[in-house]
Amino acid sequence: MIAFQTFVLFLGIMLAALGIHPGSASRAVPAEASDLASACADIGTGSLAFRFPVRDGVTGNDHGVRIRWGDDEHSWFRGRYDDADRMQAGPAWIVLRLDRGSIAEVSVTVGPDGPRLPSDCTDLGLLEPGPAAAFLLAMVPAVPAEVAEDLLLGGIIARGAEVADPLLALARDRSLDPEVRGDTVMWLAMLAGEKVAGQLADIAGDRREDLEVREHAVFALSQLPGDGGRKPLLEIARNSTEPRLQRVALFALTEYESDPEVLALLEDILTGD
């Protein structure tokens, strides 16, 4: 883990990416994000809790968070799931376990009541979602991969938070664990859609990138709404020199089975042309 002073620098970078600048006149919102960083340093070893409103379609319970896009066929779940579980709307409850000012563990739950807080916990109460998301995403480079996943989850479910630019910065950060970068790529596709198709294609086509991250980018293209990923997937299937990427792209293209260009490509492959 990196020193607190270093991850405060990451916080500044992410706040700038979100268009949040200290000293602005918008209800002192930036101070809330800064307060989170300061609170971590002040507590040292202990726990810090806060909550914020979540995006539409986000529900949860004591042991899981569900994100739904439009209908049940487009859902994502993190945690322990049981069909009998009752998922409820409510704010996100974030509990950070701190070790000498660094984030050692993150708990993310959603619901009206929230979790039972540790006895050593400092509760900051209800925060504005934008600055809270900026803080959580800024901390991703400062923690181990298993902790980063929960920071990402907390950041992306914040209501109204503009997270595409910070997520893209994380996806391109080669110092991060490939699995974390892959998760970031998937969140980009789910939240930003066709707006990031070009950036996802760039990651998939960059031979300097980790192959696992490139695979995640190809799969993310297949998850874009409508035909947003069709053209870059065709390009990868035709021209990529990496067989693993071609296979993922070709599998994804079967979703466009009535598209003449896709049919022509599949015919060429089958006939060996």
Q: What's the CATH code of the domain at 248?
A: 1.25.10
Of 162, 193, 223, the residue at which a domain comes to its end is 162
Select from 229, 249, 231, 230 the least CA-distant residue to 240.
249
Mark whether 116 and 97 lie in a shared domain. Answer: yes
One domain for residues 4 and 36: yes
Residues 20, 55, single domain; the answer is: yes
Entry pTM = 0.76
C-alpha to C-alpha distances, 26 to 20, 23, 117, nearest whole angstrom: 9, 9, 31
Residue linked to tokens 């959603």:
110
Q: Are residues 156 and 247 in the same domain?
A: no
Report the half-sphere exposure of 83 (CA within 13 A, side-chain side): 0
Contact (CB, 8 A) for 39 and 88:
no
Structure tokens at 7: 């991850």
31 with 79, same domain: the answer is yes
- Selection from 79, 117, 77 nearest residue 95 by Cα: 117
Provide the residue-wise pLDDT of the chain in tens; the chain has 273 residues: 444 444 444 444 444 444 433 333 323 233 465 678 888 888 889 999 999 999 988 988 877 888 876 554 555 666 655 555 688 888 999 999 999 888 999 999 999 988 888 888 999 889 999 999 999 999 999 899 889 999 999 999 999 888 888 998 998 898 889 889 988 888 888 877 777 888 888 888 888 888 989 998 988 888 887 777 888 888 888 888 888 898 888 888 887 777 787 788 777 776 765
Q: Are residues 118 and 183 in the same domain?
A: no
Residues 184 and 250 occupy one common structural domain: yes
Backbone φ, ψ for residue 144 (5° rounding):
-65, 165
> In whole angstroms, what is the distance from residue 198 CA to residue 216 CA?
14
CA angle 69/75/76 to nearest 5° reads: 120
Residue 126 Rama label (left phi>0; alpha psi -120 to 50; beta): beta
Domain coverage including residue 129: 1-162
Residues 144 and 221 grouped into a single domain: no
Q: Give the domain-ending residue among 162, 189, 217.
A: 162
Any residues with CB less than 8 A from the CB of 49 and at least 6 apart, and which? 93, 94, 95, 96, 117, 121, 122, 123, 124
Q: Is there a single domain that holds both residue 169 and residue 75? A: no
**Are 140 and 208 part of one and the same domain?**
no
Alpha-carbon gap, residue 64 to 261, rounded angstroms = 42
Please indicate, yes or no, whether residues 136 and 34 belong to a single structural domain of this protein. Answer: yes
User: Domain boundary residue among 132, 162, 192?
Assistant: 162
Do both 201 and 144 map to the same domain?
A: no
Q: How many domains does the chain have?
A: 2
